[in-house]
Amino acid sequence: MTTAPVELLTVDQVMTRLKYGRSKVYDLIRSKRLASFTEGRCRRIPDSAVQEYIRARLEEAD
């Protein structure tokens, strides 16, 4: 059994996917609403974290 590799996104890629500006993405990261990590100077956001953020926002809208 193999697991699917985790897709890691840059802040720019998340900005494009969510149609948000850089400040908004970093605000989400700072407030722990969007999970991320840094390796050296590179910040990466798992695609699953973006999907979870979208799910949470949709639930809040109900």
Instruction: Show the beta-strand stretches assigned E in the chain.
Output: 8-9, 37-39, 42-46
- Inform me whether the pLDDT recorded for 62 exceeds 90: no
Q: What angle do CA 28, 22, 24 make, to 5 degrees?
A: 35
How many structural domains does the chain have? 1
The stretch 34-60 carries a mean pLDDT of 97
pTM score > 0.85 for this model?
Answer: yes
Position 53 in a domain = yes
Give the domain range for residue 26. 8-61
Position 56 in a domain = yes
The stretch 38-55 carries a mean pLDDT of 97
Position 3 in a domain = no
> How many Cβ atoms sit within 10 Å of the Cβ of residue 19?
7
- Inform me whether the pLDDT recorded for 2 exceeds 80: no
Position 51 in a domain = yes
